[in-house]
């Protein structure tokens, strides 16, 4: 079914050195689309260290580090305004800046966004010593094998491993932010209303966000940007991947690319079963939408940052700026409804 993120894995790993060498060609400059909100947007970053987990990718027994990057509204001195928190998880071989326009649109309209890096799953990031941490080679090789005759039990094992790592990162970040909300270490947290938390992610990050929406009781809404909901596979039946049937507990919005929409329509018509379809149909507040003439990377800012890489990795005929404007508008409307209690959310099947 969905192969786009695997292709991303393959090519991004091979292009790492080349991107560094020809950066000026690949990244001619990102034009900030601005924000519709009334707030100016501020940014800050930190690296959180989870002393309860060793990093499975490191050989020295060091603790797991999770870089976090905040986008938040600028308020006047002495303001007591509090804003919902939205946590974002990037895709496989992605990067925290993958959806900067989305973060800025939310922050400008009164949200605090925390975008995570998942070290060794990320294209690259930095650790607390300032060292660049690139994507893990074994992760890359394994991802490349997914569509190469891998049987269901092996796939299920990998999905479980990947989701365990990512949801642990996200759980740790949310818990750590809540625990340190009254400390002086991260002043941005003074602006957060922790009774209103949303989750979202692109591709594998979307899958992790969906899983966390099941695990935690403090999540109010979840968005999946073009990601197969890997954690909805819950075992093996008759040699095939089994899919959860328990109703999804919180409002969820799913975006699909045009290629996936057409493939899935044919697949389901032939009697196939897909985890996203099962979850949305069984959710009390489940929404799905497709943006016409898009591919997987059109749900990120990559084609805007680098048309060269966007075309290479999967950008459709739809103008990405137009596609992302639709995405960001719907994301804001969805969270305004389910995190701020404003209006009633509706969505078209296709845009």
Paired with 162 in beta bridges are none
Could you give the CA distance from residue 276 to residue 24 in angstroms, rounded to a whole number? 39
For residue 83, the domain's CATH number is: 3.40.50.1820
Closest CA to 334 of 277, 219, 253, 254: 253
Predicted confidence band of residue 6 (pLDDT cuts 50, 70, 90) = very low
The per-residue pLDDT for 308 is 80
The per-residue pLDDT for 183 is 66
* pLDDT tens digits along 193-215: 999 999 999 999 999 999 999 99
* Position 19 pLDDT exceeds 60: no
Tell me, yes or no, whether 10 lies in a domain.
yes
Q: Are 120 and 67 in contact (CB under 8 A)?
A: no
Expressed in angstroms, the distance from the first to the final Cα of the chain is 22
The per-residue pLDDT for 181 is 79
Average pLDDT over the chain reads 89
Could you give the CA distance from residue 189 to residue 20 in angstroms, rounded to a whole number? 34
Predicted confidence band of residue 184 (pLDDT cuts 50, 70, 90) = low
Tell me, yes or no, whether 343 lies in a domain.
no
Whole-number Cα distances in Å, 248 to 84, 219, 225, 251, 264: 21, 12, 17, 8, 21
Could you give the CA distance from residue 161 to residue 343 in angstroms, rounded to a whole number? 39
Phi, psi at residue 104, to the nearest 5°? -70, -40
The per-residue pLDDT for 31 is 65
Q: Are 219 and 250 in contact (CB under 8 A)?
A: yes
The per-residue pLDDT for 3 is 44
SS3 for the chain is CCCHHHHHHHHHHHHHHHHHHCHHHHCCCCCCCCCCCCCCEEEEEEEEEEEEEECCCCCCCCEEEEEEEEEEECCCCCCCCCEEEEEEECCCCCCHHHHHHHHHHHHHCCCEEEEECCCCCCCEEECCCCCEEECCHHHHHHHHCCCCCCCHHHHHHHHHHHHHHHHHHHHHHHHHHHHCCCCCCCHHHHHEEEEEEEEEEECHHHHHHHHHHHHCCCCCEEEEECCCCHHHEEEEECCEEEECCCCCCCCEEEEEEHHHHHHHHHHHHCCCCCHHHHHHHHCCCEEEEEECCCCHHHHCCHHHHCHHHHHHHCCCCCCHHHHHHHHHHHHHHHHHHHCCCCCCCCCCCEC
Tell me, yes or no, whether 350 lies in a domain.
no
Tell me, yes or no, whether 347 lies in a domain.
no
pLDDT mean over 67-93? 95
pLDDT mean over 243-268? 95
* pLDDT tens digits along 138-181: 998 887 777 777 899 999 999 999 999 999 999 999 999 999 87
Tell me, yes or no, whether 247 lies in a domain.
yes
The per-residue pLDDT for 17 is 36
Residue with more model confidence, 5 or 241:
241
* Position 12 pLDDT exceeds 60: no
Burial of 56 (0-12, 13-18, 19+ CB in 10 A): exposed
Q: Are 95 and 126 in contact (CB under 8 A)?
A: no
User: How many residues in total does the chain contain?
Assistant: 351
Tell me, yes or no, whether 222 lies in a domain.
yes
pTM of the model: 0.91
Q: Are 258 and 294 in contact (CB under 8 A)?
A: yes
* pLDDT tens digits along 27-78: 455 566 789 999 999 999 999 999 999 999 999 999 999 999 999 999 998 8
Give the count of beta carbons closer than 10 Å to the beta carbon of residue 315: 23
Predicted confidence band of residue 15 (pLDDT cuts 50, 70, 90) = very low
The per-residue pLDDT for 149 is 77
* Position 10 pLDDT exceeds 50: no
Could you give the CA distance from residue 59 to residue 291 in angstroms, rounded to a whole number? 43
pLDDT mean over 208-231? 97
Residue 47 lies in domain: 4-338
What is the CA angle 345-350-351, rounded to 5?
85
Tokens of 199: 């989750």
* pLDDT tens digits along 96-150: 999 999 999 999 999 999 999 999 999 899 999 999 999 999 998 887 777 777 8
Could you give the CA distance from residue 113 to residue 42 in angstroms, rounded to a whole number? 11
pLDDT mean over 316-339? 97
Based on the structure, what is the number of domains in the chain?
A: 1
Tell me, yes or no, whether 255 lies in a domain.
yes
Tell me, yes or no, whether 346 lies in a domain.
no
């Amino acid at each position: 079914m969905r192969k786009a993120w695997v292709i991303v894995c393959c090519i991004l790993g091979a292009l790492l050195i080349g991107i560094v060498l020809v950066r000026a060609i690949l990244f001619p400059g990102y034009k900030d689309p601005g924000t519709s909100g009334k707030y100016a947007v501020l940014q800050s970053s930190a690296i959180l260290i989870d002393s309860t987990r060793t990093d499975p990718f490191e050989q020295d027994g060091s603790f797991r580090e999770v870089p976090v990057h905040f986008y938040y509204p600028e308020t006047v001195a002495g303001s007591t305004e509090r804003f919902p928190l939205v946590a974002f998880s990037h895709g496989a071989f992605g990067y925290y800046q993958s959806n900067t326009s989305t973060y800025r649109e939310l922050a400008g309209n009164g949200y605090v966004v925390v975008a995570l890096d998942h070290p060794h799953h990320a294209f690259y990031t930095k650790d607390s010593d300032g060292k660049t941490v690139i994507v893990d080679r074994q992760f890359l090789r394994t991802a490349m094998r997914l569509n190469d005759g891998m049987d269901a039990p092996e796939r299920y094992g990998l999905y479980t491993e990947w989701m365990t790592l990512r949801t642990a990162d996200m759980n740790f970040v949310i818990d750590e932010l809540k625990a340190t909300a009254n400390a002086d270490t991260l002043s941005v947290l003074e602006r957060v209303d922790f009774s209103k938390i949303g989750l979202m992610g692109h591709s594998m990050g979307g899958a992790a966000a969906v899983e966390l929406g099941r695990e935690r009781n403090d999540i109010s809404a979840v968005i999946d940007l073009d990601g197969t909901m890997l954690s909805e596979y819950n075992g093996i039946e008759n040699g095939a991947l089994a899919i959860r049937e328990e109703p999804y507990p919180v409002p969820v919005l799913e975006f699909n690319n045009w290629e996936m929409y057409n493939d899935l329509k044919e697949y389901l018509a032939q009697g196939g079963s897909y985890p996203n379809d099962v979850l949305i149909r069984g959710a009390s507040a489940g929404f799905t939408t497709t943006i016409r003439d898009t591919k997987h990377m059109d749900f990120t800012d990559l084609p805007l940052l680098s048309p060269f890489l966007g075309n290479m990795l999967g950008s459709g005929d739809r103008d990405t700026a137009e596609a992302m404007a639709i995405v960001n508008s719907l994301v804001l409307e969805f969270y305004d409804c389910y995190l701020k209690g404003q209006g009633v959310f509706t969505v078209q099947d296709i845009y």
